[in-house]
Structure 1
C-alpha cells in the first residue's frame, strides 16, 4: 500500500511538473531576434546595429512661428528623413515660454510648448536645450521650459532644475544597445555663464565650460552604456573650421568614454569624421532656422549606423533651407555634389574618413 501510494505521488508530481513546463511562457527581450529559452534567460541580448539621425539648430521665431499652427506638418519634408532612423536628435535653440521678459542680448528666441508636439510629429525623438538661447527669457523662461518639458514628457537633455538633472543623459535601448546621450553647451555669453549654468543649487543649462562636470557625466554614463553620445553646442559663428576650444575638449571626452561627439552653432557646416575610433562632428549647421545666404542655408541630416562602441557607417542627407526656414532634401546631381562638398570639410578638422 505505501509503495503504491508513493508511486502514485511521484507520478502526480511528474505530471504537474510536465504541465507547468509546457504552459510556461519564456521571456522576451526588446531588440533581440527571437524568444529566448529558460537556460538562456540570464544572457545579455545580442546587439545589432541601429541608426541615429542628427539635425542642427532649430527655432520657431519669425515666419517659422506660423508652422506651429499645424504642428503635425510643421517640419515639412525633412520629417521623412528623420523618421527613417531608429532615433533622431536635434538642438532646440529656444526657450519654451510665452511669458517673461527677454534678457539683454541682440537675438532672443522663444516658442510655445506646441514646439514639442511639432518636433515629435516630425520624427524627432530627443532634443537638447543646452545652447546660448536656452534661457533667453531668464529664470521665468527656465521655469516655464521645465514645466513644459514635464507636462509634455518629451525627452529633453542639457537643462534642469540643478546640475544633476541638466547633465543627466537620455537613456534608451536600441536593438540590444544601451545608449546614453548627454547634452551640453560650450557657447555662452560671458555675462550669462554664471547665471545660466546649472549647479547643485541652481537650475540652468549643462555647461561644457565646466569641463570636469561634463567629463564626470561621460564617465558615469560609460559604466552602464554600450554607446555614449555627447551632443554639444560649440564652434565659432561663420567659421568653417573647429576652434581651439572644440579641438581641446574633443580628446578629453573621448578619453572619458564618449563614442560619438556631435553638435553645432556656427550657422554653417563643419567637418565630420573619425578621431581614432570615435566619431566627431564639429558642425551640423542651421536646420529649421533663418536662411541668411548660400552658406548658412546648407544643411542636412547626419545618420550614423552604430553597434556598441563602433560607428559602422555615416551618411549625409544634404538639404537646403528654403522659405520660411525649412530644410528641403536635395536630389540628383545637386545631392551628389553637396555630399562631396560635405566630405571635404573634414580636411581642416583633423578627422579621418575611416576609424583607426
Structure 2
C-alpha cells in the first residue's frame, strides 16, 4: 500500500448519502407531477437532514480540521471473550459525538490483530486479537493507528504482517512498525480537509525482539543513538507536511509521575518543531501541557491518555489507586488551522475523560465520558467490589488533579 494514505473524510460520506436520497425523492415527486409534493418533500428532507445529520451543520471550512487522539487499544481476555469475532455493538456509542463528528481519529493499537490462526491471547503480557478488530475500529470512526509499542512483535513478523494486512483491508492508516526498510524511511501521511498531517510513531522497546532494526521504531532511552533517527524522522515529516504529530510509547506504568525519557524527549521533540505529541503506555492518564520549542513554536503535549479499551480488574503490578485508574482514560480533541505553506495553528484543545465500564465477570462493556458516569454505574463496576475508592467523586478528583494545571479545557 502507498505510504501516502489519503483518507476519505467521514463527514463527506454522510453528506453524500443524504444528498442522493434527496435527489431521488425529488425525482420521484416530479414524475408524479405533484409540485406541492415536491415542495413538501424537499422541506421535509431538509428538516430531517438537520435533525439526523448533525455533522453537516458542523462542517469545518477548508484548511481546518478537527482531530481526535486517544489512548491504548488494549484488547484483553475479558473483552475478547465478551465480543469474540463479532462487532462491538454499542460499546463506543457514547463516544460517537466525538469520533464520528470529527474529521480524523488516531489511536494507539496496543496489540497485534493477526486473528485466530496465530492464537488469540489477551493475558500474560503477550497479546493477539481477532482480525475483525480492524473493521470494528473503522465502524467506530477510527481512521489511523500507531503500531510502535511494546506489543508490536507479540506474534513475531508474521503477526505484524497479518496486522498490517487487516488494517489495509479496512483502509486504516498506520505507522511505527513496518514490512520493509523503504516503508520505514518514508513519511506516513494523512490528508485531512486540505491539511497534510505527518505521523511519527516510536516506542521505548518491544517485549519480543524485532528481527531487524528497521522493523519497529525503538528509541531505547533518552540518550541512545536512536534519538538522532527519531529527530530525523520529525525533520522529514516537517519538510513534507503541514502538521506533524509525534506519538510516543514511553513513560512508567501505573504512576502519574513523568520519567526522564518523557521530560527530556518531549522538549527535544518540541524543539524539532512537532505540533502535537501524543503519549501512551503508562495505562493511566498523565499530565498535559503546552511546550515552547527552540524557535518559539508551541507544541501541544499529552504525556499519557491512558487506555481507550481495557478489560481487567485488580491489575497486577499496580497499587489500588492505579488498579482503579486503569479503567480511566481520556480522548483529546483539537483543531488544526492551516495558516501558510507547511504551517498550522493548533486551536481549541480539550480533554474528554472516559471510563471503561464493565460489570461482574466481564459483562456489560461500555465506554462512558466521565461527565456522564454516575455513582450508580461506579457501584456496578467490577473494580468496585475490590476497591471502595472507585466512586464517581474519587474519579473526578483524580482526573482534575492530573489535568488541573494543563491550561487545557476539560469536558466535565
The Cα offsets for residues 29-84 of structure 1, whole Å up to 9 and x where unpaired, read as x99xxxxxxxxxxxxxx964321111111133313224341256554432442222
Q: 1:318 to 1:84 in 2, by over 3 A?
A: same
Match in the other structure for 1:87: 104
Task: Decide whether the 8 Å contact of 2:176 with 2:202 is kept in 1.
Answer: yes
In the alignment, is residue 154 of structure 1 matched against residue 172 of structure 2?
Answer: yes
- Residue 352 of structure 2 aligns with which residue? 317
Q: Among residues 200, 220, 237, which one is paired with 1:221 in the alignment? A: 237
Mean alpha-carbon deviation: is it higher for 271-280 or for 173-182?
173-182
Report what 1:12 is aligned to. Answer: none
Q: Matches of 1:49 and 1:340 in 2, distance apart? A: 34
TM-score, normalisation: structure 2? 0.65
Change (3 A) 1:173 1:147: closer
Q: Deviations over 1:75-123 (max 9, x none)?
A: 44324422222111111111121334799x9411111221110001011
In structure 2, what is the Cα distance between the partners aligned to 1:180 and 1:257?
A: 12
Q: Given the alignment of the two structures, is residue 165 of structure 1 paired with residue 183 of structure 2, yes or no?
A: yes
Change in Cα spacing, 1:176 to 1:265, as seen in structure 2 (3 Å) is: same
CA 74–167 in structure 1, closer or farther in 2 if over 3 Å, else same: farther
Query: 2:227 matched to which residue of 1?
Result: 211
The structure 1 residue matched to 2:139, chosen from 121, 126, 131, is 121
Q: How does 1:171-190 map to 2 (within 5 A)?
A: 171-189=189-207
Counterpart Cα distance in 2 of 1:151 and 1:173: 19
**Structure 1 residues 167 and 352, CA gap change in structure 2 (3 angstroms):** farther
Distance 1:289 1:332 in 2: 19
CA drift of 1:329 comes to 1.5
Task: Find out whether 1:285 has 2:306 as its counterpart.
Answer: yes
**Any conservation in 1 of the 2:355–2:373 contact (CA below 8 Å)?**
no
Rg comparison, structure with higher value: 1
Residue 216 of structure 1 and its aligned partner are, at CA, apart by: 1.1
Q: Secondary structure at the match of 2:324?
A: coil
CA-to-partner distance for each residue in 1:239-289, whole Å, 9 max, x for gaps? Answer: 212110111111221222211001211110000120121110100101111
TM-score, reference length from structure 1: 0.74
Within 5 A, what are the aligned runs for 1:30-45?
none
* Partner of residue 41, structure 1: none
Residues 233-272 of structure 1: pairs in structure 2 closer than 5 A? 233-272=249-288
| 8 Å Cα contact 1:167/1:206 also seen in 2 | no
Partners of 1:157 and 1:285 in 2: CA distance:
20
Indicate conservation of the 8 Å contact 1:185/1:232, yes or no.
yes
Determine helix, strand or coil for the equivalent of 1:96.
Answer: coil
Secondary structure at the aligned position of 1:316 is classed as strand
Is the aligned partner of 1:353 residue 2:368?
A: no
How much does 1:219 deviate?
Answer: 0.2
- Aligned equivalents of 2:166, 2:373: Cα separation in 1: 43
Determine the structure 1 residue equivalent to 2:19: none
Counterpart check, 1:331 vs 2:371: yes
Which residue pairs with 1:302 in the alignment? 332
- Compute the RMSD of aligned alpha carbons: 3.1
Q: Aligned to 1:55, which of 70, 74, 83?
A: 70
